[in-house]
Structure 1
Amino acid sequence: MTHLPSGTQWLHSRVDINGYEEYSGTEYRSAGCSEEYNVIERNLEHAGGEESLMLEGDIGGGLVLQRQLYIPKNDPKVFRIDSSIIARKVGAGSGGYSRLVCLRVHPMFTLLHPSESHVSFTAVDGSKHEIGPESNEQFYEGNLMPNGEWMLIDKCLGLGLLNRFDVSQVFKCLIHWGTGTVNLELWSEERPVSNQSPLRISHEYEVIDLF
């Protein structure tokens, strides 16, 4: 994913690992990661409308992982992703509820200047945090979870990648630093879903000029 105004490539992508993945469980690369997704809705921008794409993948057990990608027409600097785990055909013997699932958003970002990069956020309790690569991997939940947004900052570029999310949909956040990469993950609660109670995470990204 390249941000055209700044010419920066944020998402890290290889043949075996794409830059943005979503899972249906707490396990790394669980169902939803490598399943085939079908485009079920496509709206191309015209007459000032909103450009969007909706994808859906079968993750087994009567469940689908649905993802809508769009750029809001009233805020074209923002890239928004709305994801859901939805029960479509859950067996009658289960009382209408699925297996335990967790919507885990797993983006991998490229660090052009790893030693000059960090993640910054204000937690729910008002405390301020700056997390660098030396922290390796760290979960944040409860009052220490980011209060609706966190930012990956590259001080050399003078740019930040701001990720906003709904704290009511996110149970915990994970920062994992790799070699020249970082994951900023959003995890929902873990629970069964039914037709009336899907799991959802809506979040968005915006590149911020810090100079």
Structure 2
Amino acid sequence: MLEYGNHFDLSAYNILRLRRNLENAGELESLLLEGDIGGGLAIKRQICIPKDEPKAFRIDSSIVAEKVGAGSGGFSRLVCLRVHPMFTLLHPTESYVSFTSIDGSKHEIWPESGEQFYEGHLLPNGEWRLIDKCLGLALVNYFDVKQVYKCLIHWGTGTVNLELWSEQRPVSKQSPVRITHCYKVIRSS
């Protein structure tokens, strides 16, 4: 299985397009990146500020099979797209993750919880929040539950990863694995 994360080291990508002020396309700013991840696979990532949400940014990531071996039927080996940003916490002991699961149960996960996976009916129902009680702010991560197979919260020393994982499956040019998600900072209640 190949896992590929959410690294924004631009040296690993070819910058295909930088678009600015594309109001007709529904975006204010947009950056399209592509990187070769080996085995005939490429990761494509578009980062944009949507016109209808200028205080948010959206990331559309996908793994696509550009070239596959003979006899493969046009599909790659099994792959899993793993979006795994790391956030540095200003107030590590006063920060936590909050979400409502698909089954309606409510969760608050604090740093002492360690690493936690959520999938199936316990998967966040399309959003989760990283809340800093001292600042009174939350970073909300919105995503499509149809694209996300499991979520992982990993607490480090003064950091947290909020990971979105796709299902594990073969991909082709016509059937990439994709995760689209959006971040927005809001006042927490």
Asked if 1:43 corresponds to 2:22, the answer is no
**Which residue is equivalent to 1:144?**
122
Q: Is the 8 A contact 2:28 2:54 kept in 1?
A: no
d(CA) in 1 for partners of 2:28, 2:171: 30
Asked if 1:160 corresponds to 2:144, the answer is no
**CA distance 1:32–1:88, change in 2 (3 Å):** farther
Q: Please list the CA deviations of residues 19-65 of structure 1 after superposition, one character each: whole Å capped at 9, or x if unmatched.
A: xxxxx834xxx588577201111101266852100000001111100
d(CA) in 1 for partners of 2:49, 2:156: 29
**Which residue is equivalent to 2:177?**
199
Asked if 1:85 corresponds to 2:63, the answer is yes
Q: Is the 8 A contact 2:60 2:181 kept in 1?
A: yes
Report deviation, 1:183: 0.3
Q: Is the 8 A contact 1:172 1:188 kept in 2?
A: yes
d(CA) in 1 for partners of 2:76, 2:172: 6
Asked if 1:190 corresponds to 2:174, the answer is no
One-letter code of the match for 1:38? N
1:111-130 equivalent positions in 2, closer than 5 A: 111-130=89-108
**Which residue is equivalent to 2:2?**
25
Asked if 1:109 corresponds to 2:80, the answer is no
**Which residue is equivalent to 2:188?**
210
**Which residue is equivalent to 1:175?**
153
Length, aligned pairs only: 185
For structure 2, list consecutive stretches of 5 or more residues without a partner in the other structure: none
**Which residue is equivalent to 2:38?**
60
**CA distance 1:119–1:89, change in 2 (3 Å):** same
Secondary structure, aligned partner of 2:166: strand
**Which residue is equivalent to 2:77?**
99
| TM-score normalised according to structure 1 size | 0.83
Report deviation, 1:96: 0.9
Q: Is the 8 A contact 2:154 2:161 kept in 1?
A: yes
One-letter code of the match for 1:44? R
Secondary structure, aligned partner of 2:112: helix
Secondary structure, aligned partner of 1:50: strand
Give me the CA root mean square deviation.
Answer: 1.9
